[in-house]
Every structure is written in C-alpha cells, then in structure tokens.
Amino acid sequence: MSTEQASTSGPRILLYSDDVDARAQVRLAVGRRLRHDAPEIEWVEVATAAAVIASTEAGGLDLLILDGEADKVGGMGLARQLKDEVYRCPPTLVLTGRPQDAWLASWSNADAVVSRPLDPIELQAAVARVLEPRAVAG
C-alpha cells in the first residue's frame, strides 16, 4: 500500500455485540466518517468473543467498540483480557448498560466508556477523541 493510499484510508473499527440491532445503532450514531472531510470508516462487525480475539490478534484495527451487555462474554471482561494479552492492543471503547457502570468499565482498562441509552453526539465524540486525540484537543 502506498503512502498516499494509507493516508486516505479510513479507520478500521471492530464493533462487537451479539445483538445485530445494537451494532446497527452504533454504526448509525457514529456515522460513516469522523468528520465531513475524513475518509469513510471501515466497520468490522463481529458477534462472538472468539471473533473479537482473532480479529484483534490479526492486527490492522484502530479501535475496538465492545458491548458491555453482550451475552456470554461481555465487552468489559473482553476489553480487560485483550489489554492484558494482546501486544499493542488497539484502544477500546466499552458500551455500558447504564451510567452507574462506568466504574466497572474502568476496571476493564477501556480507553473510553459510553453508557446507554446511546447519545449519537456523545458516542461520535468519544470515538473521535480516541482515534484523533490531537485533532479534538487542538
């Protein structure tokens, strides 16, 4: 891949939830781009913890959005496992069931936390803060 192609490719975001509607809600809230002049986001949707681990270990991801309310393996435990076990684990954003669960998300070593009900502005801003910290701060 040339340098020009690399600079125009959008971020690759892994989106984990066992609920197809929750994944659709996140994609809709974040949007196709982080800002109007940015390249399109490439979504990697997965519904199982095994797929999250395999995709993360394969590399090439810029952000993991993990559903803390997923059945069987929740996103908070998965975030902690990935941060502990995957070398150069991408940043993680955990979706919690309610604002009171933010303390639990801090245990997971998540880089950002957004609680339900999802506010599109809050979620998009959190994704932008994690992916473009200098652009948002400046």
Q: What angle do CA 76, 56, 116 make, to 5 degrees?
A: 35
- Single pTM value for the model: 0.90
pLDDT category at 104 given cuts 50, 70, 90 is: confident
Please give the pLDDT value at position 26: 98
Here the CATH number for the domain that contains residue 91 is 3.40.50.2300
Tokens of 98: 């309610």
For 3-26, how does the pLDDT look when each residue is reduced to its tens digit (9 = 90+)? 344 446 899 999 999 999 999 999
Please give the pLDDT value at position 102: 80
Query: Whose structure tokens read 């604002």?
Result: 99
Considering only residues 107 and 8, tell me which one the structure prediction assigns the higher pLDDT: 107
With a cut of 70, say whether residue 92 has pLDDT above it. Answer: yes
pLDDT category at 101 given cuts 50, 70, 90 is: confident
Please give the pLDDT value at position 8: 65
Q: For residue 59, give its domain range.
A: 3-137
For 42-81, how does the pLDDT look when each residue is reduced to its tens digit (9 = 90+)? 999 999 999 999 999 999 999 999 999 999 999 999 999 9
- The tally of domains found in the chain comes to 1
Question: What mean pLDDT, rounded, does the chain reach?
Answer: 90
